[in-house]
Structure 1
Amino acid sequence: MEHGMLIPPVYSPIPPAIHPRHKLIDQQTAAWARTFDIGSPELREKLVGQEIGTFAARILPEGDEEVISLLADFVLWLFGVDDGHCEEGELGTDPKELVPELSRLLRIAQNPEAAMLTGDSLAAGLRDLRRRMEQHATPAQLARWVDALREYFLSVVWEASHRSKNTVPDLNDYALMRLYDGATSVVMPLLEMGYGYELQPHERDATSVRAAAEMAYFIITWDNDLFSYHKESRGQQYYLNVLRVLEHHHGLEPAEALEVAVAQRDRVMCLFLRLRDHLSASGSPQLRQYLESLSCFIRAAQDWGISSHRYTTPEDPAELPTTFRDTPTDDSEEPLDIPAIAWWWDAVPEKRVPAVPQGGLPVNGDTALGVPHLPVTDHVTAAGHDSRSFA
């Protein structure tokens, strides 16, 4: 795929929000990274300059400040693992060595007192995160955090397998694993901790609520693929991205792949909004807060994605948007032709529709891949000029 791709404004109906002490939180996270020597000196200074504390402050705009700092430190730690061990380290192309290394870290998350990896900076940082988490989490939330970390580690190994062979997964496998390798599910327990509640299992584990969470993961990671494409494609390492998947397996030109990916995330965004409103209408106060936090997480990733030096790469500027669209490019209520996620459309009772036929052929002007089914006038909002602007 060609370099220098212009990423269009994405549909963002969720208003921005940020904790008032975001600058202090960002400074504290920088200090934490240096205290625990997260990553190599070069990687650490890159991470410190990427405003990860501000990202966390957007996810929990009215949350407990200690939990926001904990979330910020955890996200930076995750980047230390992903950038250092996987994308840029030797283990990133050696799944058989990556598995035991990640398993040792997982053991530290489960049992920080275990006498393992005593000289490892990532393990030391993880011990600190786990012990601080105990001050805010219930035993069940801690257990779910460890389970989500296991899911993330498993997906990282899957990606390393493709990297080791320089292969590209198909769209269905990519969509499934992207739910986990974006490290979105590991944030979920902290959404509850940030507001001091525990969502009861009968609500959190309900199929429809799980679908809403997965839709948020999908939107966040598809957006991330758009915003990070310039950074990843310019590097020397293997990279995995929905645009590359669509071009490789579906024979699309770069502009076509971009159009399809945007339409896919827009269709899921429309579905998420319908399901969120449906669940909020009858859910408990805790569930309503959880759904609101999912919305904040989506918007936080968007605002951070178009502004952080991680993706704008000032030394080699990316062509990222500075605005957001008011309208989706695709608001079809038909499921995407991706079996791993097509069941989401059944989670909104009043909006059930037949599945899109297999094969990716046009259906009434639409396509199974999610190309816009009707031309939509592009309405954008300028950053800094209305309620949807980046703050």
Structure 2
Amino acid sequence: MTRLDSFTVPDFHLPFGNSKHPQAARANAEATTWVVRHELVTDAVEQFAGIGFGHLAGRVSGEVPFETVVLLAEWMAWSFVLDDQHDHLIRTGELDAWRPVVDTITTYLETGTADGAPARRNPLVSGFIDLCDRILDGMPEGPAARYRAHVPLMLRSLDQEAGNRGAGGRPTVQDYVLMRRHSSQMLPMMDMVEAGLGLDVPQRIHDLPEYRALIASAVDVISWGNDVFSLPKEYSCGDNNNLVSLISSWEGCSLPEAVREVEGRIQARIEEYLAGERLLEETLEARGETDPQVRAAVARCVRSYEDWIIGADLWQRYECTRYSDERFAAGLESAYTRPGLVSVA
């Protein structure tokens, strides 16, 4: 990997507006309280709250009730702990402790029970169960089925990330892009937002290649942008699960040059997203999808993806301390990471 001498996150020129829920700060505080109550974080709580998951939830959730913003913020907070704990196990060589947690979560999604599982009382598992029960309670059938499908894919992508950090584990850029769509952890959150908005886009629409391509474009833009924001940390600790690092490595260019390459890819992906919006509209017309409720739900979901694209960027730039924290940028574990959490029973 080439040297990272200086680093500035470019302006990605995202052509969307964004508004934030007026009680986003309160949602952040309540989600932090939830994390502490479940003993997912016990130290450096203020630093953990600085991630600003409530602000991100407030930017992407649209005009939903405050309780829905809080639930999304709690899920986001849990996801950050999940990600950091997985990173901790990779660093310490304790990945064997990961499997019982993942198996229990997956079983609970499939059966609604985790009775007798040794990991049942682990804070990551008990926190997940609390969230999962409330997320699925009253969730429309379509988003619920997609949420149940997306969470295991998200967990599996973390296993792929671990493999990529092993000896000779450098993935190709294309393989990484496909994995990143799940390791971003955004798809279950998008399901939650769709349901929170009172929408249930039929599965036949979700299955359209044009609809799937639109979601992929949105997730790619957000994920690649996040890779630029998190580059100092991942470069410092030798983690090659980063689009900038991989382009630098595979194409033999400097990291600043790779940042410019990713910036160009993001701009091209934005153009593809905008073209995809138009193509989806044309496809629905050609298929005779004229039900006004269906068309309105699709249009609102598409606008939600725009909220995600611009909202995630604004959150990272202005409301999240995670990527500017000195420990994080130096490739060190955050002060709030709780050693031994995964093995707690």
TM-score computed with the length of structure 1 as normaliser: 0.75
1:312 partnered with 2:324: yes
The 1:316/1:146 distance shift into structure 2, 3 A limit, reads closer
Distance 1:153 1:213 in 2: 19
The offset of 1:98, in angstroms, is 3.4
The offset of 1:274, in angstroms, is 1.8
The answer for the alignment partner of 1:133 in structure 2 is: 135
The answer for the alignment partner of 1:105 in structure 2 is: 105
Distance 1:80 1:65 in 2: 23
| 8 A Cα contact 2:56 2:312, kept in partner | yes
1:301 partnered with 2:312: yes
| 8 A Cα contact 2:62 2:304, kept in partner | no
The answer for the alignment partner of 1:257 in structure 2 is: 258
The offset of 1:39, in angstroms, is 4.3
Distance 1:279 1:68 in 2: 28
Distance 1:166 1:87 in 2: 18
- Deviation larger for 136-145 or 239-248: 136-145
- Deviation larger for 58-67 or 86-95: 86-95
1:288 to 299, 304, 327: 299
3-state SS in 1 of match to 2:165:
helix
User: What amino acid maps onto 2:59 in structure 1?
Assistant: R
| 8 A Cα contact 1:192 1:198, kept in partner | yes
Distance 1:237 1:254 in 2: 13
3-state SS in 1 of match to 2:10:
coil
| 8 A Cα contact 1:23 1:53, kept in partner | yes
The 1:316/1:214 distance shift into structure 2, 3 A limit, reads closer
The answer for the alignment partner of 2:172 in structure 1 is: 170
The 1:179/1:29 distance shift into structure 2, 3 A limit, reads same
| 8 A Cα contact 1:93 1:164, kept in partner | no
The 1:237/1:105 distance shift into structure 2, 3 A limit, reads farther
| 8 A Cα contact 1:32 1:73, kept in partner | yes
| 8 A Cα contact 1:91 1:98, kept in partner | no
User: What amino acid maps onto 1:193 in structure 2?
Assistant: A
Distance 2:239 2:279 in 1: 41
The answer for the alignment partner of 2:234 in structure 1 is: 232
The answer for the alignment partner of 2:87 in structure 1 is: 87
| 8 A Cα contact 2:104 2:120, kept in partner | no
Distance 1:266 1:30 in 2: 35
1:189 partnered with 2:191: yes
| 8 A Cα contact 1:94 1:160, kept in partner | no
2:21 to 7, 11, 19: 19
Higher relative contact order (CA 8 A, sep 6+): 2
The offset of 1:27, in angstroms, is 1.2
RMSD: 2.3
The answer for the alignment partner of 2:64 in structure 1 is: 63
Count of residues paired in the alignment:
315
Q: Deviations over 1:35-83 (max 9, x none)?
A: 11114634x5533221100100000131232221111111111111111
Consecutive unaligned residues in structure 1, runs of 5 or more: 319-391
Distance 1:174 1:217 in 2: 13
Distance 1:316 1:159 in 2: 18
The 1:250/1:317 distance shift into structure 2, 3 A limit, reads closer
Q: Say which structure is richer in helix.
A: 2
User: What amino acid maps onto 2:304 in structure 1?
Assistant: S
Query: What does 1:138-157 align with in structure 2 at a 5 Å threshold?
Result: 138-157=140-159
Distance 1:21 1:262 in 2: 32
The answer for the alignment partner of 1:383 in structure 2 is: none
Q: Deviations over 1:185-232 (max 9, x none)?
A: 121211211211211112121110011001111001000001111233
Identity of aligned residues (%): 21
Distance 2:61 2:268 in 1: 25
Consecutive unaligned residues in structure 2, runs of 5 or more: 290-294, 331-345
User: What amino acid maps onto 1:88 in structure 2?
Assistant: H
User: What amino acid maps onto 2:189 in structure 1?
Assistant: V
The offset of 1:110, in angstroms, is 3.6
Q: Deviations over 1:172-196 (max 9, x none)?
A: 1111111111111121211211211
User: What amino acid maps onto 2:169 in structure 1?
Assistant: T
